[in-house]
Amino acid sequence: MKIFICANLYKEKTAAIFPDVIRTLKLGGMVPVVETKFCGVCGEMNINGILFGEAEENAEMCDIFLTIGGDGTILRWGKKAAAYRKPLIGINTGRLGFMATLEKENLSKLLALSEGKYKLSTRMMLDVTVSTGLEEKNYTALNDVVLFKGTTSKLPEYLMFSGGAEVTRVRADGLIISTPTGSTAYSLSAGGPIIDPKIYCFEITALSPHTLFNRSMLLSVEEPLRAEYIAYENSSVFVSVDGNESIPISPDDSVKIKKSELCLNLIDIDGESFYGSVHSKLMKPLK
């Protein structure tokens, strides 16, 4: 069994546990696979038994993706794992690491991979099309799509459509359209509910809405969504997919969102990592 280790080995916290990860995998009879660019770093650590290759080559040959880092690392590599139909497991070395199954203190649980003693948590993803007057750009999201105003912009009015029907119109700093996985990320910070990842739906949460009554909405994935905005004076709006680049859009542009045919299978060794993470990581203060 080949395990593609997706990690930035130049980061101190990642490099600190990397040798233990390698030893554990080899103990379970698994073959660690690492990007060729980290060959020198692994040599300095005096670690043997690693198979090196380019990222695309590793993604195709491996059986499992293993990330070391925080949720950002899972977001970055999760799209690749979904595209190659490979399951992913995360080891948390970040601050929260909500989607990561393992903490650095329980690496021994990696042995369950070789024995097949784990469950899969299937996570819905989004296909996103940003249509401007010049072009269309396509993206895939695991967490969310966020429309937000510029720093000095007046409040724009956001419109959301489901299957052509208008479902909300609100003046706000922004609008979050998230998956159930993304419900525990930015949307949660904005007051949205936690959604069990087994439930497939779109969640819409406004950022600092200019109204006395506003609640998150849950919409069926059977109909695609379309988001637009109406400018007020010097309003400027940007779109971000999973927290990546900020894409400027005009009032004549639109953002189309639908449930993707791709999905990410997260490995859940204990079989209760979602609710365990809710209790251990969201119900108490971060250290």
Residue 92 has pLDDT above 70, yes or no: yes
What is the number of other CB atoms lying within 10 angstroms of the CB of residue 52?
A: 15
For the 2-118+269-282 domain, the top CATH level (class) is alpha beta
pLDDT value of residue 237 = 95
CATH topology match: 2-118+269-282 vs 125-261: no
Residues 6+ apart with CB under 8 A from 3: 25, 30, 31, 32, 33, 62, 63, 64, 66, 113
For the 125-261 domain, the top CATH level (class) is mainly beta
Residue type, 193: P
pLDDT value of residue 285 = 56
In angstroms, the CA 143 to CA 180 distance is: 8
Q: How confident is the model at residue 133 (pLDDT cuts 50, 70, 90)?
A: confident
| DSSP label of 209 | -
Residues 6+ apart with CB under 8 A from 262: 79, 82, 83, 125, 140
pLDDT value of residue 103 = 86
Domain boundaries, the chain: 2-118+269-282, 125-261
Write the DSSP assignment of 70-96 as a string of letters: -HHHHHHHHHHHHHTT--EEEEE-SS-
pTM above 0.85, yes or no: yes
More confident residue, 99 or 141: 141
pLDDT in tens, 36-67: 999 988 888 888 889 999 999 999 999 999 99
Residues β-bridged to residue 237? 149, 249
Mean pLDDT of 203-208: 96
pLDDT in tens, 220-238: 999 999 999 999 888 899 9
CA of 10: how far to CAs of 70, 118, 221, in Å? 15, 30, 40
pLDDT value of residue 279 = 59
pLDDT value of residue 48 = 86
pLDDT in tens, 262-276: 999 999 887 666 666
Residue 182 has pLDDT above 80, yes or no: yes
Residues annotated catalytic, as ranges: 71
Of the listed ranges 91-100, 174-183, 262-271, the one predicted with least confidence: 91-100
The angle at the Cα of 68, spanning 14 to 16, to the nearest 5 degrees, equals 20
